[in-house]
Structure formats: structure tokens, C-alpha cells
Structure 1
Amino acid sequence: MTAAYDALPNGMKQDLAELRAVHNMSDFRNNFTVNEPDGDTNRLTAAHQRFGSAIHPIVRNHPTTGRPFLFADPGVTVHVVGMTSVASRRLLYYLFDHMDQPEFQVHFKWNENAIAIWDNRRTMHYAISDYLPHR
């Protein structure tokens, strides 16, 4: 997400500098609503109380290198603080589309004795099962 940040236009970087976004269960809410009767939110409410929400800057700086990186994820980032729903969605979708470009991706081919190490703070993950039947 450092490379994705670096590739943004300077004006966009300035616009994002002070913005914060709400992160919560987002798509993971489905795990707590499957097979629930209409109108029943007990499991969802309990899950939200357990996991809650957080507010994070959209741009963070790496604690070791100091380099800025995008800190948003389509799976959990749901709203930009201080924006209308429409404006927030537009900005987040722009960022998610930007972050999803091939030039910001690493494709690791698993093979015997392979080890992959990444920095969880500035990486978006999409694991594919190309290592099965191994774990």
C-alpha cells in the first residue's frame, strides 16, 4: 500500500492527509446474519459489541521507515469521517479501485519449503488456494 500511495496524484495525497475512516465488521457481518429470521439482530448486535468499530487515518506512516501508506480495506473500511455517505462511498471506491491495480500486487507461487513474509500493517491480502492440499 506504500506503492499505491506513492502513485496517487499530489492533490489527492493532500486531500487524504487528515482524513480518517471507520473500520468495522463490514462484509463479515454476513457471518452473523446467515439463517437469522427477518428482524432478528441478536447475533449481529452481540458480534458488534464483541468486535466493535475503530477509526483510523486513511494514510498512516510506517513506524520504522516513516513512509506513508494507504490504510483502507474494502472488507472493513465503511465510511470516511465527516463526509456524506455518497461522498464517502465515492472516495473509498476510488481508493479501492486504485489499490487493486496489478502494479501494486504481489503474486507468490507456493512450492515446497517456500516461506513468505509480509508487513501486515501495509498489505492488503487476497489469498488463493494454490497451495492445497498442503497447509
Structure 2
Amino acid sequence: MTAPHLTIVESEQRLPWDQAGAEAGLPPADRPGRAVRGGPRRLRRIGPNQADRPYRRFGLTPLSPVIGAEVSGVDLGAPLDQELRAELRRAFLEWKVLFFRDQRITQEQQTAFARLWGELEQQSLAPGAPGPGVARYVKDAANAGFENAWHADMTGRPRPAMAFVLRLLDGPEVGGDTLFTDAGAAYDCLPAEVRSALEGLRAVHDLTATMGRFVPADEIARIREQYPPVSHPVVRTHPETGRPTLFVNSVFTDRIEGMEPERGEQLLQYLFRQLQAPEYQCRFRWTPGSVAFWDNRAVQHYAVSDYFPAGRVTERVAVAGGVPF
């Protein structure tokens, strides 16, 4: 028996991602991807059962109404007591990404801060890599960045990372910003018929999906053998807040399961565009000593590659996550 969600998706009903509208002679405003959506988007930063309370132990400056905030008055190199940790976790869940400036911390202190939130995750895909620890990313004229695409990190694993702590070691005077988008707000603002059609859908994620341009074929084959493609829900439920969030991204999501390939790709492109709306985003300009701490279950990010031939050096620690559901 065909699953109910596939009955909806594969029916003759025309949904917003279908490309048949242009051939049917619809006016431009009614064609998929071109309709004008007038009026404000109805956005919410926290879940319906969460209370919007102030923070007592630190200052907090929002970067947008729904996502991203700078935290002041916290030294990440010093021990954090239980009350401060609880408030930081609440801010992390409510704002999805927290930024700390002027943090003159060591690699060991960065790792210790990451361990407060869970076990660390191995990030390297290289054979014989050491255990969980810090990954360093050096971007210069000889090693240009490939991160300038919206994505959640490492979703091609059965248990994608829960969070990341990224520290800037060296960067350009101008450029190299990072953008973050709220995947929960993006889901909330989908038309009701689209949210209904997404129920139960799953997508295949592959760590090697977009590596072909810069990784040799034998290396792709090795990574694919070590980390075979996995299936995740198109809409995942955040395990702590309960909010539904879009969980497909342009770097690692390969296809929609059980859907004709062309129509599945049209759906993915429609959802990718939805995630790119500025109303769901914040933008962070890095300065010396900056640290970003983001919820990989709730956001996607885009590292802007606009600073070459200048260089940028960062170190990142991953906190292990669970199976998306």
C-alpha cells in the first residue's frame, strides 16, 4: 500500500515546487519560484511552549529577531558554574547560534568548553585520523574555500553533529563573514499544503555528494565506503525544543526517497530557496578572538568566500549528536 504522504506528493495536485506552471501559461506571479509573497513573514524565535525570559548572568545582543545573538560578560577560558551553563544552554536553544568576542582562549580551553555540551565527535575523514579533537581550517590563495553554499555539517553520517564551536585564529580585515539561517523558521513559513506533503518524506544524504570537483575519485570511493549514504527525515524534530526543522541541504542531500528523480530535485530546490530567505538569517562579522557556537540540528550556515587572496585560519570542535527523527 502506498504511504499517505506519497499519495499526496505523486498526485496530480500542483504544489509550489512543480515546474509545470510556466508551461501551463500561468502569469509570472503564479509561477513556481517567482510568486510575490507580500506582507510580513510570521516568525517565532522559540517554540510555543517556551517562555521568553531574560538572562541574568550575561548580556545578550540579538543579531536578528529570530536567530543569532552576541553574548557579553562570559569568559570561555574560565570555569562555568552550573547556573551559568544552564543559562547559556537556554540561550543556545532559543537563539540557535551564540557569538562571543574578545575570547583569548587556547585550543585546550576551546575543547573544554565544547565538552560541556556533550561528547566530542571525530571530524576528519582521513584514514588513521586521531580521536575526537580540533580540526584546523586554513584558507588562502592556494587553498580556496568551498564552504560558500548553505549546509548543515556532516549530515551524511547516521548521527550528525549536535553542535560546533568555531574559533577564529586569523582572518582578513574585511570579508569572510558567516551567515546562519533558522531551519525551524523556514519550515514554519512553508505553505500548509507543503508542510502536509513533507510529512513522512525522507532524503538520502551522502558525504561525497558534492566532492567530485576537488577530491580524487579514489578518495571519494574510500570515504563512501567508510561513510555510506544515509537516510534522514526531510523534516526533523528538534530533540530538545520539539520544533520541526527543515533537514535538507545543498551540500550533502542527494535525493528524495521514493520520488521520481526530476520531481524530487524540484522539491529540494524549492526547499533550498526557502532556507535562503533573509528573514530567517543573521550575519556575523568576525573579529580577532571571536567564537561561534551553533546548533547544527536547527541551523544551516554559509561561509562567505569573498576575501581571497587574503587568508583565514579557524579551529573547530564538534559535539556529537543523535539520530535525526
TM-score scaled by length of structure 2: 0.37
More divergent stretch after superposition (100-109 vs 112-121):
112-121
Please state how far the C-alpha of 1:49 moved relative to its aligned partner. 0.5
Distance 1:117 1:48 in 2: 29
1:30 maps to which residue? 213
The aligned length equals: 128
Is the contact between residue 58 and residue 72 of structure 1 (CA under 8 Å) also seen in structure 2?
yes
What residue in structure 1 maps to residue 291 of structure 2?
A: 115
SS of corresponding position for 1:5: helix
In 1, Cα distance between equivalents of 2:270 and 2:226: 30
Alpha-carbon contact 1:61-1:67 (below 8 Å) kept: yes
2:244 maps to 1:61: no
Match of 1:52 in 2: 228
* CA shift in 2, pair 1:112/1:46, >3 Å: closer
Residues 15 and 31 (structure 1 numbering): CA distance in 2 closer, same or farther, change over 3 Å?
same
Extract unaligned runs of 5+ from structure 2. 1-182, 315-325
1:104 to 272, 280, 283: 280
Deviation at 1:48, TM superposition (A): 1.2
Name the stretch that deviates more: 23-32 or 13-22.
23-32
2:266 aligned residue (87, 90, 93) = 90
Deviation, structure 1 residue 133: 5.0
Higher helix share: 1
CA shift at 1:28, angstroms? Answer: 1.9
Query: 1:31 Cα shift?
Result: 3.5
Deviations 1:28-82 (A, max 9, x none): 233333xxxxxxx544322210221110000011111101000001001010000
| d(CA) in 2 for partners of 1:125, 1:88 | 23
2:211–2:220 CA contact under 8 A, matched in 1: no
Is contact 1:32-1:47 (8 Å) kept? no
Q: Which amino acid aligns with 1:87?
A: R
Instruction: Find the aligned partners of 1:65 and 1:133 in 2 and give their Cα distance.
Output: 34
| SS of the residue 1:118 aligns to | strand
User: What percentage of residue pairs aligned between the two structures are identical?
Assistant: 36
- Letter of the 2:203 counterpart: A
| Code of the aligned partner of 1:12 | V
Long gaps (5+) in structure 1: 34-40
Q: Give me the CA root mean square deviation.
A: 2.0
Between Structure 1 and Structure 2, the one with more strand by share is: 2
Q: Distance in 2 between matches of 1:60 and 1:22?
A: 14
